[in-house]
Amino acid sequence: MLARRENGGIHGRSGGTGRRTRLKIARGNPSCGFDSHLRQCDYFRTAFVAAAEDALARGYNFDKSSGFAESTNALNHDQDDYRLDGGFWRAVIVMGILSALGMWGVVVFPIERFLPEAAEPAADIDWLFRFMAFFSVPILVYVNGFLLYFAIRYRKRVSDSSDATGSPIHDHRALEAWWTAIPAVLMLVLGLLSYNVLPKYYGAQAATVTMEAIGHKWDFEFRYPGLKQSVFNDLYLPINVPVTMDITSTEANEADAVIHSFWVPEFRVKQDMVPGLVVPIHFTPDRLGTYRIICTEFCGVGHSDMWGKVHVVSQSDFDTWYAKQRTQAASGGPPIQLAHGDASAGQALFQQKCSVCHNAAPFDQKKVGPGLANLFDDPKHPNLVDGKKADSADVATILEHGYTGDMGTMPNMQANGISPADIANLIAYLQSLHK
Amino acid sequence: MAVADISHAPTGHIHPPPETFVQKYVFSFDHKVIAVQYFITTGLFFVLAGLLAELMRAQLAGPNNHVLSVTTYNQAYTVHGSAMVWLVIIPVLTGAFGNLVMPLQIGARDVAFPWLNMFSFWLLPPAGLFLFGSFLLGAPEAGWTEYPPISLQEPAGTSMWCVAIFLIGVSSTITGINFLVTIIKMRAPGMTWTRMPLFVWATAVTAFLSFIATANLSAALAALFIERVFNVPFYDPSRGGSPVVWQHVFWFYSHPAVYIMILPAFGIVSEIIPTFARRPIFGYKAIAYSSTAIGLMSFMVWAHHMFTSGLAQWVQLPFMALTMLIAVPTGIKVFSWVATLWAGKIRLASPLLFVLGFLSTFTFGGITGIFLASVPVDIHEHATYFVVAHLHYVLFGGSIFGIFAGLYFWWPKMTGRMLDEGLAKLHFWLMFVSFNATFLPMHWIGLLGMPRRVATYDPIYGDTNLFISISAFVLGASFIVFAYNALKSAKNGEVSGPNPWGARTLEWMIPSPPPYYNFDRIPIVLHGPYAYGEPLPYRDVAPEYLDATPLH
């Protein structure tokens, strides 16, 4: 045995064959694993049995289990110290009162005042949230309360000897059964309640409006039945009409598509817009107003600014809006009055929108798109529209219709959320850059 | 008795310690040296990743700040998250604490495979170089989860990220196997499974998780790397791939990884509470077996990270139910720890303070976890600052508080010197208050509608964010107190002696710092370690070390 150990190798058994393998370790490594080897050898067996006998003689209840079987000596605790006395129950009552106050607070908390419930599943979700918060309060109060109370009440006093120990009690079956069973039941109830709400998002419903929401870098596109053109970032929905929204994401070049997410906090509705996946969700807006649409999946440099608005309007307002959209599609919208551009308004707009992708710097200084400082006289700037040097009308065309080509992709004016007046202002600003 | 004439036998085998500097301190096989290497390396990464967080908070202090460009901000939070998870919390809890404490606690002279242990550590520095070096080639921007397809469209730094995390994955897998074998095969005689210290239980379950789960991450990363570099479409939906596949495989690793990051902290807490309450841990078996239950269940809940990804409703149901059920074993632990404090003789020393902070913040983080488990509520909360807050309550309030509790606890064992108790308490209160001030308000703004991973935001959240940023700077500063304390202790700290806290596990039955070969004789274990008030249950421990009277 010892001779084999001197080799400094690892000895192991392989499978059931009983064949021994030996791995040499360089440099006489000290930790060659002989401990595990020793465990198998007779030497330790003997030592172990002897030690067990020794332990028995010293008063340990020594068996294979670890339980803290009480030894016959060394127990000189005063059991009276460990009764649940008046102080303990007073602490329990104080914590009970604090919990009750907290739970009352959860029940009456006006969620609506901070975040309106503006669509059908919102109230159900807030109810679930309240339910969880209601039961969280006593758990938090009692855990933190007992921590504080025990830390103060049972702290070691100056009068205690330096080797004083606390209660030897280390198990309490009934208590442990309770604190296993109660959370388990709570979780079961919560699971069932949550399960009940789910079909409101995903279950098949007779929707009066079925539409599509498509994520782009960095705009939300909405397609209504019967409308030829899409609506960008401004979603109009009639109140109290169930909506089914088919949600996905794509780009002109499919390989550029990324995951976005469609979130309306006031609706408590969120669905990732995953390229290649169309997911229908259901909700019914039931409160008039304008709310935020927010992208919550990181989608690139424009992610922070990717948001839109949802306008919940009355049925008649919706019909008016819808009719206007139809006629606008036919007429092509109002003309752009370039002469009325205001450079300072354009500058503000540039900072707010264009600067996500463009620097107000020479053409080479690219961000997502090229730098635009010398747009009208930089020889490096390609002639994008009609083969001539860029002029105001060309820039207006690109701003209005967007651009797709070897320099990348730029969304159109609807996608960028800019008006004809905005275009005029932007051009005035860009012209002012190279005086 | 036969005991006397054989007890000298194991001492005959001790090899001489290595003599050259390189063998001793660089490519050392000694688990204690490797543990210190882990501590120093992960400490450095912690500072770097923490500074990135402070930069992010500087950017977010106002709604439209330009402290960082949008791209730099995105890179900062991605590298911050990746570094904190993979370069700090996982290696410090397994590599550093596991290496430092576990072999000592089971009465072994080293781990089963010391060369692999060394190799495992030396994967960490190159991983750090790749991750932080990715800034040179355009660091990844899509967050530590790096969902495709956007991670396919990023510059070359994302490939470096893949390599860095892959290396960590290999290191983590090897350490897992190494620790599992060590714990199964190398416990001192008499240390049955139910006599193991609870930190060893936690390390065993963690090692199992690292060993089983990490391979999935490696596979997902390899596919991402191959798709990015060799253009093989695994995830790109425009060419027949599926971005959701990444999410499944990534979370099949990363949910168990959540427990890799918290179970060792549970183990640390389970050691510290009985030591400072001077009484047996309440519900030893309940704590040990609930760790195991958590470990097994952690493999069956991954899709709760994907409730808004478009899973079918019937798929969401079992994931919701199992996620909620994990709260039960976790609750058992918390309640058992609180019950251990009952009727103790409590010494409110710094390790216990950090543990009390842990219990308070982790319980909060656990409860918000239940909020996130309920599918309808998660649909509202997912990918908002509520999730950012929840994550930091479990990973900072849980893991980092646990790590500092363990550092203050085992510092004397590691260095042989005490830390200054006053500075330790100052560190605790600064950290505890500023931590809550930083992350508690995030729940609120998240619920109100602030999405995560944004460089600019709606000005209505401006005041709250300014408050959060100021708190975050204080939180960062609190670690300076620790650094100063560590330097002070190294220079003229009080000599600790073998067992300053009066703990009863085996690592305290030898000198501090432990000698090269840990145990002169392998001790024989007669009983579990937590029977305070009883004689110490060890044989073959030198009598001068057989003492558990606390000095501090």
Each residue's pLDDT tens digit, A122-172: 999 999 999 999 999 999 999 999 999 999 999 999 888 888 888 888 888
- pLDDT for residue A427 is more than 70: yes
Q: Strand A403-405 and strand A408-410: pairing? A: antiparallel
Residue A41: alpha-carbon gap to chain centroid: 55
- pLDDT for residue A38 is more than 50: no
Give the mean pLDDT of A328-336: 62
Say yes or no: ipTM exceeds 0.90. yes
Q: Which residue has the tokens 């907290």?
A: A102
Q: Which residue has the tokens 């309490």?
A: A172
Q: Which residue has the tokens 């596991």?
A: B98
Residues B73-108: tens digit of each pLDDT: 999 999 999 999 999 999 999 999 999 999 999 999
Confidence of residue A424 (pLDDT cuts 50, 70, 90): confident
> Which of A63, A85, A165, A301 best tests the B interface by mutation, with the highest count of B CBs <10 A?
A165
pLDDT for position A394: 78
Give the C-alpha distances (Å, rounded to integers) separating A289 from A68, A235, A241, B292: 65, 12, 15, 51
Confidence of residue A332 (pLDDT cuts 50, 70, 90): low
> What's the CA gap between B348 and B552, in Å, rounded?
10
A423 versus A313: the higher-pLDDT residue is A313
Give the mean pLDDT of chain A.
Answer: 79
CA distance A97 to chain B (A): 20
- pLDDT for residue A26 is more than 50: no
A348 versus A138: the higher-pLDDT residue is A138
CA distance A2 to chain B (A): 9
> What's the CA gap between B411 and A25, in Å, rounded?
31
pLDDT for position B313: 83
Kindly report the pTM of this predicted structure. Answer: 0.84
A73 versus B235: the higher-pLDDT residue is B235
Residues A189-206: tens digit of each pLDDT: 999 999 888 877 776 667
Question: Touching check for B440 and chain A: CB below 8 Å?
Answer: no
Which residue in chain B is spatially nearest to A273 when comparing CA positions? B309
**Number of helical (H) and strand (E) elements in chain B, helices listed first:** 21, 2
- pLDDT for residue A272 is more than 80: yes
Q: Which residue has the tokens 């329990």?
A: A92
A123 with A284: CB under 8 angstroms? no
pLDDT for position B141: 94
B176 with B167: CB under 8 angstroms? no
Candidates B189, B309, B313; nearest CB to A272:
B309
pLDDT for position B236: 92
Name the B residues in 375-434 with CB < 8 Å from any A CB. Answer: 375-377, 379-380, 382-384
| Cβ neighbours of B108 in A, within 8 Å | 35
CA distance B485 to chain A (A): 25
- pLDDT for residue A28 is more than 60: no
Task: Give the list of residues 6+ apart from residue B514 with CB closer than 8 angstroms, or none.
Answer: B32, B104, B413, B507
Which residue in chain A is spatially nearest to B23 when comparing CA positions? A27
Collect the ranges in chain B with pLDDT lower than 50.
Answer: 1-12
- pLDDT for residue A179 is more than 70: yes
B438 with B393: CB under 8 angstroms? no
Name the B residues in 461-520 with CB < 8 Å from any A CB. Answer: 502, 516-517
B213 with B157: CB under 8 angstroms? no
Confidence of residue A333 (pLDDT cuts 50, 70, 90): low
Candidates B109, B367, B371; nearest CB to A139:
B367
pLDDT for position A390: 75
Question: Touching check for B346 and chain A: CB below 8 Å?
Answer: yes
CA distance B451 to chain A (A): 5
What count of other Cβ atoms lies within 10 Å of the Cβ of residue A15? 6
- pLDDT for residue A25 is more than 60: no
Confidence of residue A238 (pLDDT cuts 50, 70, 90): very high
Candidates A48, A265, A301; nearest CB to B190:
A48
* The dihedral formed by the CA atoms of B240, B244, B249 and B250, expressed in degrees to the nearest 10: 120
CA distance B334 to chain A (A): 8
pLDDT for position A60: 55
Candidates B328, B343, B359; nearest CB to A183:
B328
- pLDDT for residue A67 is more than 70: no
- pLDDT for residue A409 is more than 50: yes
What angle, rounded to 10 degrees, do the helices at A86-108 and A120-153 form? 160
- pLDDT for residue A32 is more than 60: no
Structure token digits, residue B238: 């425009």
> Which of B151, B380, B461 best tests the A interface by mutation, with the highest count of A CBs <10 A?
B380
B229 with B367: CB under 8 angstroms? no
A6 versus A232: the higher-pLDDT residue is A232
Give the mean pLDDT of A101-109: 97
> What's the CA gap between A435 and A410, in Å, rounded?
26
| Cβ neighbours of A48 in B, within 8 Å | 189-190, 524
A70 with A171: CB under 8 angstroms? no
Candidates A33, A132, A155; nearest CB to B112:
A33
pLDDT for position A3: 36
Q: Strand A19-24 and strand A279-283: pairing? A: unpaired
pLDDT for position A35: 44
- pLDDT for residue A81 is more than 70: no
| Cβ neighbours of A91 in B, within 8 Å | none
pLDDT for position A327: 82
pLDDT for position B120: 96
